[in-house]
Structure 1
Amino acid sequence: MNKNLASMSTRLIVTVTFVLMVSMNVLANALPLNGRLTGEISDLYGNLFAPAGITFAIWGVIYLLLGSHVLYQWGFFHRRGHLDGGLLSRIGTLFSLSSVANTFWIFAWHYDFIWLSALLIIIILAILIAINQTLVSLELTRREELLLRLPFSVYFGWITVATVANITAWLVSIEWSGFGLSEPVWAVVIIAVAAAIGTVTMLRNRDIAYGLVLIWAFIGIVIKHTSDAGFAGNYPAVIVTTTACLAVFVASEAVIVWRKRPRRA
């Protein structure tokens, strides 16, 4: 047995749960599940944080990256290195749990169990935090950065935003009053808090890919608020706040690039 590979049982579970997750996400819209598209349910719980529909195209990138990681678990693109199979098994086990939670999320979302979908996405977020904290503490080769860290950085970045959006949708579903504050005020607060959490995370982990995902998501929010198909500029405070957050993200990415630059001897 190659000691640099995860156990056979882990590789099988990783593969099965990944295929199940992708299949259910595809079938949810192809059938569609419960007679409704995933995006249609989002529209039922419309809020000022949700980004434009085009933003969700990132799922295709996420699935491709995660698929490359599954192949890596099987030894493809793999070279003997300092990472042992035990580490890959732990990452694979956590990844499998996130795939199962993602699969159940689809059912919860499509059958209007919004509270359950929010709980499941928080579980996915917690798992991805654990995976990323494990990987960020390691000295990785370029190949390992590409096939181990990158897939989970991108996934983590998107789930960070999706968690906020899902919780916001749940609050809409229970007709939360917002303690008397207006929806635009809460949108500004939520966007600012999400941006602060994201900025701290990307800087602490020195994670360029994570930051790029946040930039993509927040551009989607701006598009939604400025386009005629969206809110047509009716909430300028939200647009200004989101744009300011984008500037912070870009500045943070520049700081990360500067910190990662090669040092002269």
Structure 2
Amino acid sequence: MSSRAASTSSDITRQVIVISAVVFMIIAAMFGAGVLGGTPVQDLQGGALSAEATVLAPASSAFSIWSVIYFFMIVYTVWQALPSQRASDRQRKVGYPIALTAVLNGTWLLAAQYTTLGLTVVTIVLLLIALGATIRLLVLNPPRTWAESLFTDVTVGLHLGWVTLATVANTTAWLTAEVAPESWGEVADAWGIAVIVVVVLIAAATAYFTGGRLTPAVASAWGLLWIGVGRSSGEPESMPIAITAWVAAAIVVLVPLILWTTGRRGELTFAKR
């Protein structure tokens, strides 16, 4: 039976909801970039989200990855709206979760514009959880074509990898601006290094439990590289954190590569089917 013949009105509803969610995300992103009259993210919350606000803030160039993520989200949205994807069993399982991640992404930008740093942390943690749940669904329902892998898995993987790093940066910004005492600065390097170690552990766990998927690791490593650049060439300067971040970026990418080369990737993928 063809996917077109098997499609139902609920499939069309799902496709429309995905389109609406991504449109909402893009409009919110335009506000976040200041295009539609909003304040640029780096100037919000008293500058707490800028590239120089904390020891774990990536240099500003790191945020260019959002253009890549948004591009893949738009391409995915167009692709999943095709009649050939309407009755796809895989899209039936992940369409709504991906729509939720788009809504939470846009909600974070609006929260940063109009609410508090604390609420941005809550929102980005929810986004991280949603992305983790979505990629688990993708692992449990492996792609059958290169298009499924490229348009769906790469999209979610890049989003997850970057948000993993962004969650840490966002939480650190909130703690630094509103929670930590003034003495925090005296131990900032130690805390920063400890948090980077946690990021590595999370990224390694993601690689392990997704069968060695590389895209989340690439996105997380990208952020870590730019944390290193920010701390080595900008304020607040910290070579210990810069070096730790660069080493961490290498480890994060090596873990999934090792899983692939040792054959563990196949075992893990098979185990989750």
Instruction: Give the TM-score normalised by the residue count of structure 1.
Output: 0.86
Cα deviation for residue 259 of structure 1 reads: 4.2
CA deviation vs aligned residue, 1:34-81 (integer Å, no higher than 9, x gap): xx31122377221111101111001111011111211221127x579x
205-214 vs 169-178, which moves further: 169-178
1:179 Cα deviation (Å)?
Answer: 8.5
Once the two structures are overlaid, the 10-residue window that deviates more, 180-189 or 111-120, is 180-189
Residue in 2 aligned with 1:69?
A: 76
Would you say 1:90 and 2:93 are equivalent positions?
Answer: yes
Q: How far apart in 2 are the matches of 1:86 and 1:178?
A: 54
Structure 1 residue 85 displacement after superposition: 3.5
Identity of aligned residues (%): 22
Deviation at 1:112, TM superposition (A): 4.6
> Over aligned residue pairs, what C-alpha RMSD do you find?
2.6
Question: CA, structure 1 residues 109+79, in 2 after alignment: closer, same or farther (shift >3 Å)?
Answer: closer
Q: Output the CA distance in 2 between the equivalents of 1:30 and 1:165.
A: 24
C-alpha distance in structure 2 between counterparts of 1:42 and 1:113, whole Å: 7
Structure 2 residue aligned with 1:172: 176
Partner in structure 2 of residue 201 of structure 1: 206
In structure 2, what residue type is equivalent to 1:176? A
Query: How many correspondences in the alignment?
Result: 254
3-state SS in 2 of match to 1:30: coil
Are the equivalent residues in 1 in contact too, given 2:120–2:170 (CA < 8 A)? yes
Indicate the residue corresponding to 2:271 in structure 1. none
CA distance in 1 between counterparts of 2:75 and 2:5 reads 19
Aligned residue for 2:230, secondary structure, equals: helix
TM-score by length of 2: 0.83
8 Å contact kept, 1:208–1:256: no
| 1:100–1:79 distance in 2 versus 1, CA, 3 Å | closer
Structure 2: give runs of 5+ residues left out of the alignment: 267-273
- State yes or no: 1:182 paired with 2:187: yes
TM superposition shift of 1:115: 0.8
Q: 1:58 to 1:240 in 2, by over 3 A?
A: same
| Counterpart position of 2:216 | 210
Q: Residue 13 of structure 1: CA displacement?
A: 0.9
Q: Which residue of 2 aligns with 1:219?
A: 225
Moved segments of 4+, more than 3 Å: 1-6, 84-87, 178-181, 259-263
Q: Distance in 2 between matches of 1:2 and 1:153?
A: 31
Q: Which runs of 5+ in 1 are unaligned?
A: none
